C-alpha cells in the first residue's frame, strides 16, 4: 500500500497513476516485467493499493499521471510520465505499507491558472502510522498482519 500525501485546492488533477511493475530476480539487479498496474486517486482516499502480487521484490522507474475527464495537460495529452525509482517487497500473508508515498500539491494563482506537482517520495512515519491506524481494525484473513516499513 502506498500512502497518499496530497494537498489540493480543488480536485487533484491526476485521477489515477499507473506504472510498469518489475519483479526483481533474487540476489541480482535483473528484473522481469510483471505487468502494468494502476490505482485511482479519489477525493478522501488515503492510500493506493496493489493486490495480487506473489512474494518478491518489485520496482518501477517511472509512472504515468492520468488526467481527470475533460482535462488536458500542458503536454497536450491526457497523461504524462514522471521518472522515479520505487522499490518494495511483498511478503506472504502481509499487508505491507510502503516506505514511499504518492506526494502531490495542486494550487491556483491569482489569475486562476492551476499548477501541480506529483511524485513518489519517502513516506513520513506519521503518515504510515495514520494509514496503519486506519487499517488495523479491519478484518484480515487468518494469520495475516499489517507491516509498517
Taking a C-beta distance cutoff of 8 angstroms, is the pair 5, 102 a contact? yes
- Position 136 confidence tier, pLDDT thresholds 50, 70, 90: confident
For residues 52-74, give the mean pLDDT. 90
> What are 92-122's pLDDT values in tens digits?
999 999 999 999 998 888 887 778 899 999 9
Q: Which helix (H) or strand (E) holds 126?
A: helix 125-135
Q: Among residues of the chain, what percentage have pLDDT more than 90?
A: 55
**What is the overall mean pLDDT for the chain?**
89
Q: What percent of the chain has pLDDT over 70?
A: 95
Question: Domain map of the chain by residue range?
Answer: 2-147
Please answer whether residues 101 and 3 qualify as being in contact, where contact means their C-beta atoms are separated by less than 8 angstroms. yes
What's the CA angle centered on 6, arms 84 and 4, to 5 degrees? 65
Give 58 or 27, the one with higher predicted confidence: 58
pLDDT for res 146: 92
In 10 A of CB 32, how many CB atoms? 10
Burial 111-140 (b: 16+ CB within 10 A, else e): eeeeebebebeebeeebbebbbeeeeeeee
Q: List Cα–Cα distances, 40 to 32, 68, 84, 143, in angstroms.
A: 25, 10, 18, 28
Per the rule left: phi > 0, alpha: psi between -120 and 50, beta: everything else, 35 is left
Amino acid at each position: 500500500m502506498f500512502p497518499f500525501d496530497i494537498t489540493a485546492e480543488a480536485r487533484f488533477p491526476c485521477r489515477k497513476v499507473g506504472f510498469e511493475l518489475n519483479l526483481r530476480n533474487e540476489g541480482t539487479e535483473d528484473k522481469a516485467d510483471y505487468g502494468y498496474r494502476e490505482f485511482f486517486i479519489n477525493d478522501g482516499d488515503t492510500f493506493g493499493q496493489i493486490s495480487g502480487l506473489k512474494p518478491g521484490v518489485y520496482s518501477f522507474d517511472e509512472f504515468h499521471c492520468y488526467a481527470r475527464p475533460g482535462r488536458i495537460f500542458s503536454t497536450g495529452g491526457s497523461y504524462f510520465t514522471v521518472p522515479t525509482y520505487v522499490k518494495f517487497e511483498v511478503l506472504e500473508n502481509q499487508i505491507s505499507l510502503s516506505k514511499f508515498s504518492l506526494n502531490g500539491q495542486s494550487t491556483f494563482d491569482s489569475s486562476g491558472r492551476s499548477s501541480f506537482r506529483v511524485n513518489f517520495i519517502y513516506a513520513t512515519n506519521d503518515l504510515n502510522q495514520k494509514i496503519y491506524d486506519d487499517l488495523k481494525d479491519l478484518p484480515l484473513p487468518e494469520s495475516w498482519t499489517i507491516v509498517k516499513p
